[in-house]
Amino acid sequence: MPDTVSSPSNTASSPSKGSTTGGVSVRLPVGSEPPRSGRRWDGLLTRLLPESHRMPVTVTFLTSLLLAVGFLSLPLAGTDLSAQVARGHFFDEHGWVPIDFRWYGGVYPFGYSAFTGPANAVFGSRGVGAISVVVSAVAFAWLLAQVGARRPLTAGVLGAITGVFNLVSGRTTFAMGIALGMLALCVVAASAHRYRPPLDDSAHWMRALLQPRASWWEMVLAATLAALSTAASPVAGLFVGLCGTALLLSGVVAEGLVLGLGAGVAMVVPTFIFHDGGVQPFSEESMKVCVAACLAVVLLVPRRGYQAVRIAAVLSAVGAALTYYTHNPVGSNVVRLSMLFAAPVVVAISTFDRRLLVGVVALLCWWQPPLIGGDLAYAGAREATKLYYQPLMDQLERRGPVGRVEVVPLRDHWESTYVADVVPIARGWERQVDVDRNPLFYDDTLAPDTYLSWLYENAVSYVAVPRGDTRLDPAGREEAALIEANLSYLRKEWENTDWSLYRVVGGPSVVAYPAQLESSGATGVRFSSPVATDLTVRVRWSPWLVLRGPEGCIEPDGTWVKVRLTRAGSYFLTGSFDQPWRSRC
């Protein structure tokens, strides 16, 4: 958004109480005047949606609504959708539980997103995405009209299209965060046309801070929406914070601080409370494409009136480069801002010749990663249905209790949704955690001996491998090939046309001897011990763990959990917000 902009205002003359026709005075009855509340609502509508905004907003709304309905009519598709569905299932079944034991020995569902589970449980994952894309597209079109963009209608429609492309890849959580972040920007932009006294150089920053254009309630609302955006999707929150920084550097100090602090505070809190860590891979090619797209925005956006946009593009390019050279959980997610907004922003405000602009926009779109085409081509695959996994799930249930199973990950990771609801799986679908906890699948150290060590360390009882021409995740292809080489420590126990199931020979249980595993599920591990003893339970240590049973306590044992039992009996190791410190040794 620009640092200074004038918004067109619409005025309407008040209706007269009387009129003259042919020299005859006619007075309208008092009852014919619109009620005062009606005039108030009409005035509010005019302020929120003036004449210059109505066409872009209306057309964008209809376009995004049509695209959202089309998205909902597609069969299940998208590499990220399975993770969203899994989180919705977990919250729907178990509610506000701080640890999800289905993946990686335990992860934090609310570290990924505070809203994904509850929202997906109520509206469904794709429903959340459809609502979010309509809200964000309409807000984007309104924002462009508010700042006086040259082509708000065309850019709004293009923004709706790129937003739906984001949904096709299954990024519904990110879409929800972007929708809330876009609303925060709209609140800030609503005050952009208001007069503020000129600032001399000596008092620029302090006066801009003490005399914001926005009212106090608008500032509070913008900060709240920025915080909610971060709580919904930390990646979206990063982008809101970036926009706040760009406004701050362009001289819109108070409003920029509000956005930045709102997003920042909401990011710091869950980072300390629910931190799974990890590293998101980011290729050099993707980094270069992202930087090029950002620099294209800098070159094509005019200097005057849009300094904040240019600064945001520069910050995005610098952020992409830093993300590539410093391994962190953001990784390849940093390209999402340019994927969604580079082309629409250029279309909206560039002053270049239309033919040149069409070529540049086409190039920006062509440069995007080819993931969307693959997601569309793979829509409706059998691997996205529960029926595909049901025979495997039946076999695992017959062999219960199974502490943990390794399912070689498929392209779209629906095993993380269906199989994990029956028995915890050694991996899952959160790339950062997978890279951090299972590095052998990424650092070229996968071999028969390292794979055996990994299976034993993670207390994997069974390994399931897809058969046929099923497409696998890149981090599962070498694993599948290794298993097909007839490893001596894997004994085949069952197979059908889709699956092979192997038992791990000689591996430890999730619960160490002399305890016996009773059950292992999404909310924890239940076991019994015939004697008082100390033992290791192979779930990831967390400050939110609690031990329920006759008498015992817990403490860290490396990355796992040491349980000290002072009485024999049945115990349940789970996660809870209810005074977890009472279980500490």
Q: What is the pLDDT of residues 559-583, one digit of tens each?
A: 999 999 999 999 999 999 998 899 9
What is the reported pTM?
0.87
Reported as a pLDDT band with limits 50, 70 and 90, residue 400 is confident
Sign of CA dihedral 93, 94, 96, 101: negative
Of the listed ranges 13-17, 110-114, 215-219, 493-497, the least confidently predicted one is: 13-17
Classify 266 as helix, strand or coil. Answer: helix
Written as six digits, the tokens of 566 are 């002072």
Written as six digits, the tokens of 444 are 């070229």
Of the listed ranges 50-64, 183-197, 384-398, the least confidently predicted one is: 183-197
Written as six digits, the tokens of 96 are 């506000």
What pLDDT, on the 0 to 100 scale, is given for residue 21? 39
What pLDDT, on the 0 to 100 scale, is given for residue 44? 59
Question: Does residue 3 surpass a pLDDT of 70?
Answer: no
What would the pLDDT profile of 267-288 be if each residue is shown by its tens digit? Answer: 888 778 887 778 899 999 889 9
Question: Does residue 14 surpass a pLDDT of 80?
Answer: no
DSSP sequence for 281-339: ---HHHHHHHHHHHHHHHHHS-STT-HHHHHHHHHHHHHHHHHHHS--SSGGGGGHHHH
Mean pLDDT computed over 393-420: 96
What pLDDT, on the 0 to 100 scale, is given for residue 8? 42
Instruction: Report the distance separating Cα 375 and Cα 382, nearest Å.
Output: 14
β-bridge pairing 462-466 and 405-407: parallel
Classify 524 as helix, strand or coil. Answer: strand
Residue with tokens 């629910």: 274
Angstrom distances, CA of residue 441 to CA of 103, 326, 409, 436, 474:
16, 20, 11, 10, 9
Question: Does residue 151 surpass a pLDDT of 70?
Answer: yes
Residue with tokens 């952009």: 192
Instruction: Report the distance separating Cα 466 and Cα 276, nearest Å.
Output: 28
Percentage of residues in the chain with pLDDT exceeding 70?
Answer: 87
What is the distance of C-alpha 93 from the center of its chain?
Answer: 21
Instruction: Report the distance separating Cα 65 and Cα 134, nearest Å.
Output: 6
Question: Does residue 31 surpass a pLDDT of 50?
Answer: no
Sign of CA dihedral 545, 546, 552, 553: positive
Classify 5 as helix, strand or coil. Answer: coil
What would the pLDDT profile of 219-239 be if each residue is shown by its tens digit? Answer: 899 999 999 999 999 999 999
Mean pLDDT computed over 447-471: 96
Question: Does residue 422 surpass a pLDDT of 90?
Answer: yes
Reported as a pLDDT band with limits 50, 70 and 90, residue 39 is low
Residue with tokens 């969307």: 372
Question: Does residue 129 surpass a pLDDT of 50?
Answer: yes
Angstrom distances, CA of residue 348 to CA of 181, 244, 247, 261:
19, 20, 19, 28
Residue 336's φ and ψ, nearest 5 degrees, are -65, -35
Sign of CA dihedral 424, 563, 435, 369: positive
Phi-psi region of 506 (alpha: psi -120 to 50; beta: other; left: phi over 0): left
Contact present, 17 and 34 (Cβ < 8 Å): no
DSSP label of 171: -
What pLDDT, on the 0 to 100 scale, is given for residue 367? 64
Picking from 492, 429, 496, 498, the residue whose alpha carbon sits closest to that of residue 470 is 498
What would the pLDDT profile of 336-387 be if each residue is shown by its tens digit? Answer: 988 889 889 999 998 887 777 788 777 777 766 566 777 777 888 899 999 9
Written as six digits, the tokens of 228 are 């909610």
Contact present, 292 and 367 (Cβ < 8 Å): yes
Helix (DSSP H) and strand (DSSP E) numbers for the chain: 21, 13
On average, the pLDDT of the chain sits at 87
Cα end-to-end distance, the chain, whole Å = 54
CB-based contacts of 270, cutoff 8 Å, min separation 6: 110, 111, 114, 231, 234
SS (H, E, C) 182-242: HHHHHHHHCCCCCCCCCCCHHHHHHHHHHCCCCCHHHHHHHHHHHHHHHHHCHHHHHHHHH
Of the listed ranges 113-127, 187-201, 478-492, the least confidently predicted one is: 187-201
Question: Does residue 103 surpass a pLDDT of 90?
Answer: yes
DSSP label of 140: H
Instruction: Report the distance separating Cα 372 and Cα 168, nearest Å.
Output: 7
Q: In a 10 Å sphere around its CB, with 0-12 CB exposed, 13-18 middle and 19+ buried, how is residue 55 labelled? A: middle
